[in-house]
Chain A
Amino acid sequence: MQDQVAIARPLPGPALRPPIANLRKGFAFLLVLACVVAAWEGYKLMAGATGGRVPFTDVALPVRGDDKSMPHVWDILAALFSPRQRGSDELLFPFLLKNALFTWREAATGFLGGSTLGFLLGVAFARSKLLERGLMPYVVISQTVPLIAIAPMVVIWGSAVGWPAWVSVSLIAAYLTFFPVTINTLRGLLSPPATATELMRSYAATPSQMLWKLQVPAALPYVFTALKVSATASVIGAIIGELPAGLNEGLGRSLLTFSYYYISGPEKLYGAILVSALLGIAFVGLVSGVERLVVRRGGAGG
Chain B
Amino acid sequence: MAESMVSIDGVHMVFNQGGADEVTALSGIDLEIAPGDFVSLIGPSGCGKSTLLRLIGDLLSPTSGTVTVNGKPASRARLDRDYAMVFQQATLLEWRKVIRNVELPLEIMGMDPRARRAKAREMLDLVELGGFADHYPWQLSGGMQQRVAIARALSFDPALLLMDEPFGALDEMTRERLQMELMRIWQRTGKTIVFVTHSIPEAVFLSTRVVVMSPRPGRIVETIDIDLPRPRTFDTREDPRFFELLTQVREALRGVEVEVP
Residue ranges of A at the interface with B (Cβ–Cβ < 8 Å): 1-9, 11, 193, 195-196, 198-205, 209, 213-214, 217-218, 220, 295, 298, 302
Cβ of B179 within 8 Å of any chain A Cβ, yes or no, is: no
Cβ contacts under 8 Å, B105 to chain A: 203
Cβ of B2 within 8 Å of any chain A Cβ, yes or no, is: no
Cβ of B138 within 8 Å of any chain A Cβ, yes or no, is: yes
Cα–Cα, bound, A295→B142 (Å): 23
Closest residue of chain A to B86, judged by CB? A199
Given the known interface contacts A213-B107, A302-B93, the answer about A9 and B78 at a Cβ–Cβ threshold of 8 Å is no
Q: Is the CB–CB distance between B141 and A201 below 8 Å?
A: no
Cβ of B119 within 8 Å of any chain A Cβ, yes or no, is: no
Contacts beyond the supplied A7-B142, A9-B138: 16 A-B pairs with Cβ under 8 Å: A4-B169, A5-B145, A6-B142, A8-B140, A9-B139, A193-B89, A195-B87, A198-B85, A199-B87, A202-B57, A202-B59, A203-B109, A204-B78, A213-B104, A220-B95, A298-B95
Cβ of B72 within 8 Å of any chain A Cβ, yes or no, is: no
Given the known interface contacts A213-B104, A213-B108, the answer about A204 and B141 at a Cβ–Cβ threshold of 8 Å is no
Cβ contacts under 8 Å, B108 to chain A: 200, 203-205, 209, 213
> Smallest CB–CB gap between A68 and chain B, Å?
54
Given the known interface contacts A8-B139, A209-B108, the answer about A214 and B93 at a Cβ–Cβ threshold of 8 Å is yes
Cβ contacts under 8 Å, A213 to chain B: 93, 104, 107-108
Q: Is the CB–CB distance between B141 and A7 below 8 Å?
A: yes
Closest residue of chain A to B107, judged by CB? A213
Q: Is the CB–CB distance between B89 and A4 below 8 Å?
A: yes
Cα–Cα, bound, A203→B156 (Å): 10
Cα–Cα, bound, A7→B139 (Å): 8
User: Number of A-B pairs whose CB atoms are under 8 Å?
Assistant: 85
Cα–Cα, bound, A302→B97 (Å): 10
Cβ of B42 within 8 Å of any chain A Cβ, yes or no, is: no
Q: Is the CB–CB distance between B87 and A5 below 8 Å?
A: no
Cβ contacts under 8 Å, B145 to chain A: 4-5
Cβ contacts under 8 Å, A1 to chain B: 89, 91, 94
Q: Is the CB–CB distance between B169 and A5 below 8 Å?
A: yes
Given the known interface contacts A4-B145, A298-B95, the answer about A202 and B139 at a Cβ–Cβ threshold of 8 Å is no
Cβ of B83 within 8 Å of any chain A Cβ, yes or no, is: yes
B6-45 residues with Cβ-Cβ distance < 8 A to A are: none
Cβ of B117 within 8 Å of any chain A Cβ, yes or no, is: no
> Smallest CB–CB gap between A300 and chain B, Å?
8
Nearest 7 interchain pairs by C-beta: A298-B95, A5-B142, A202-B85, A3-B138, A195-B87, A195-B91, A203-B108
B97-115 residues with Cβ-Cβ distance < 8 A to A are: 97, 100, 104-105, 107-109
Cβ contacts under 8 Å, A209 to chain B: 108
Closest residue of chain A to B57, judged by CB? A202
Given the known interface contacts A1-B94, A295-B95, the answer about A202 and B78 at a Cβ–Cβ threshold of 8 Å is yes
